[in-house]
Amino acid sequence: MTIDRVKILDKRVLFVGGKGGVGKSTSASAIAMAASKLGKRVLLVSTDPAHNLSDLFHTRLKGEPKEVVRNLFVMEINPEKESERYIANVKKNLEGQVRATMIEEVHRQIDMAKTSPGADEAALFDRVTSLVLEELDRFDLLIFDTAPTGHTLRLVSLPEMMGVWMDGMLERRRKTNEHYTQLLNDGEPVEDPIYQTLQARRDKFRRVREILLDSSMTGFLFVLNPERLPIEEAKRGVETLRQHDIPVLGIIINKILPDSVDGTFFQKRKEQQLVYIEEIKRSFRKLPMVRMELLEEDISTLAHLEMVAGRWSSLME
């Protein structure tokens, strides 16, 4: 039996994921709009480098929240810009902590780190972390419209990996400090701003991880279509999230052919979709599912989006 509802309104943070083109941005936007109409103050954030929320809402979006409809704020995070900002910040934090003769070399090293694989992702993650920690005070619901699956899963599993890595760094730093204390400072503990910075970051990751793992606050929604590849990708995604204990809230089966379409060609496709829908029900047995029909046109105007949002209002409890 499928449950045709998904508990969204009591959550504070939602991630919407799935394979490319399945309808993540459309679903995230429709949910955001529906929730705002139901009285929630909502922030919709795109973390996809290939943004389409500006197109969907027909407005220029930047890296800060912009109210597009009453109580619905939208923003886009640009990973490359975040990376630049992040690097500038690291350099600034190091000012006064590194000897003047070393500063050029340190900056050169940091600039090199910027081009390393994963740097943009780490910066993006840092911004998502800050948003979750800071904006929950101002908004009832944060919705992240994410890039296709692999990227997003790394994003949500990062707090765990970063936590382990930072603990290692902190431990090494602590040992070094202990040495210095004994050698140079007659047993008086040395002040170490780098240790303090690391510790602050570790605490930040810890706090965001607590929120991400708390199923009463956070949920991950997978969008798929009744087709083979999106199903496979969602299966892998759900499995990975479970391994990381990240709560999966439900499945959105999008682009289902409506009953009203006819003709032999569509009859065949509808039959095939039914087979896939059965497979979806079997594969994601314990998860709530909602169904969305394929509409006649792309969802590209606010009026269109409002229509889809109207349908969502009755599905999200």
Ligand X SMILES: Nc1ncnc2c1ncn2[C@@H]1O[C@H](COP(=O)(O)OP(=O)(O)OP(=O)(O)O)[C@@H](O)[C@H]1O
Site residues (vs ligand X, CB under 6 A):
18, 20-26, 48, 52, 148, 254-255, 292, 294-295, 298-300
Q: Which residues have a Cβ under 8 Å from the Cβ of 146 and sit 6 or more positions away? A: 15, 16, 17, 24, 47, 48, 152, 155
Report if residue 26 touches Mg ion, rule: CB under 5 A: no
Q: C-beta of 114: minimal distance to ligand X in Å?
A: 25
- From Mg ion, ligand X, none, which one binds at residue 191 (CB under 5 to 8 Å depending on kind)? none
* End-to-end Cα distance, the chain: 18
63: left (phi over 0), alpha (psi -120 to 50) or beta: alpha
- From Mg ion, ligand X, none, which one binds at residue 20 (CB under 5 to 8 Å depending on kind)? ligand X
Nearest to 23 by CA among 260, 209, 161, 223: 223
Of 31 and 166, nearer to ligand X (C-beta) is 31
Of 148 and 150, nearer to ligand X (C-beta) is 148
**Cα angle 278, 14, 42; round to 5:** 125
Q: Is 38 helix (H, G, I), strand (E, B) or coil?
A: coil
Of 53 and 246, nearer to ligand X (C-beta) is 53
Lookup: tokens for 220: 């991950």
Q: C-beta of 309: minimal distance to ligand X in Å?
A: 12
Q: C-beta of 280: minimal distance to ligand X in Å?
A: 16
Contact (Cβ atoms closer than 8 angstroms) between residue 145 and residue 53 = yes
- From ligand X, Mg ion, none, which one binds at residue 168 (CB under 5 to 8 Å depending on kind)? none
Amino acid symbol at 88: A
Of 104 and 259, nearer to ligand X (C-beta) is 259
Of 168 and 258, nearer to ligand X (C-beta) is 258
Binder among 19, 25, 234, 309 for Mg ion (CB under 5 A): 25
Instruction: Report the interface residues with Mg ion, using CB under 5 A.
Output: 24-25
